[in-house]
């Protein structure tokens, strides 16, 4: 009986480092899986600080279609505020996300009413993707790709396409 108990204790002691690593790996995986959801929830909160807090202090955030590049949280804060002012009912829906190591992508649908982009008062909806880099559980690099012409057509700034 004592021999079995000692053997069991020895096995538990030997297994502890592996269990701790599994927990650490699990936490890292859940942080990665949560990056896309945090990004979406922050934008949908319409709270500048909640959006900014998803990112590292030295973040680089680029909106490719409009040529906006923001370095650091101060610039990002201004960018986010301008986006929320331009599209006050902004909504982002998560389509999918994939994160491998510290790099990943977030596919999304962005919609709202154009109050400040072209000032048309019309609604739009566009699919896009963000390519991200994670550092310490936060996004350190974010590059957004989407078709600005889709928005322009929907708000009447470009002629509708015929098919």
Q: Alpha-carbon distance 41 to 51, whole Å? A: 8
Can you give the CATH number for the domain in which 71 is found? 3.10.450.50
Would you say residue 42 lies in a domain? yes
Would you say residue 159 lies in a domain? no
Question: What are the tens digits of pLDDT across the range 43-52?
Answer: 999 999 999 9
Phi-psi region of 142 (alpha: psi -120 to 50; beta: other; left: phi over 0): beta
Question: What are the tens digits of pLDDT across the range 109-124?
Answer: 999 999 999 999 999 9
Question: What are the tens digits of pLDDT across the range 30-63?
Answer: 455 599 999 999 999 999 999 999 999 999 999 9
Split at pLDDT 50, 70, 90, the class of 126 is very high
H-helix or E-strand containing 17?
helix 2-45
On whether the CB atoms of residues 99 and 134 are closer than 8 A, the answer is yes
Domain ranges, residue 71: 2-154
| pLDDT given for residue 27 in this prediction | 46
User: Average per-residue pLDDT in the chain?
Assistant: 87
Would you say residue 54 lies in a domain? yes
Would you say residue 56 lies in a domain? yes
Query: What's the whole-number mean pLDDT along residues 136-155?
Result: 97
| pLDDT given for residue 25 in this prediction | 46
Would you say residue 161 lies in a domain? no
Q: Alpha-carbon distance 40 to 92, whole Å? A: 6
Would you say residue 119 lies in a domain? yes
pLDDT above 70 as % of the chain: 79
Q: Domains in the chain: how many in total? A: 1
Would you say residue 163 lies in a domain? no
């Amino acid at each position: 009986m004592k021999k079995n108990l000692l053997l069991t204790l020895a096995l538990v002691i030997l297994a502890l480092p592996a269990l701790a690593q599994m927990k650490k790996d699990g936490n890292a995986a859940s942080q990665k899986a949560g990056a896309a959801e945090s990004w979406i929830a922050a934008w949908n909160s319409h709270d500048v600080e909640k959006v900014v807090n998803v990112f590292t202090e030295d973040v680089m955030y680029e909106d490719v279609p409009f040529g906006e590049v923001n370095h650091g949280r101060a610039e990002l804060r201004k960018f986010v505020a301008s986006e929320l002012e331009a599209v006050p009912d902004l909504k982002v829906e998560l389509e999918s996300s994939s994160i491998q190591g510290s790099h990943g992508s977030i596919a999304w649908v962005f919609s709202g009413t154009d109050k400040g982009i072209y000032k048309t008062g019309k609604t739009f909806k566009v699919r896009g993707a963000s390519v991200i880099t994670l550092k310490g559980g936060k996004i350190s690099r974010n590059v957004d790709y989407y078709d600005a012409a889709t928005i322009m057509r929907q708000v009447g700034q470009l002629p509708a396409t015929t098919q």
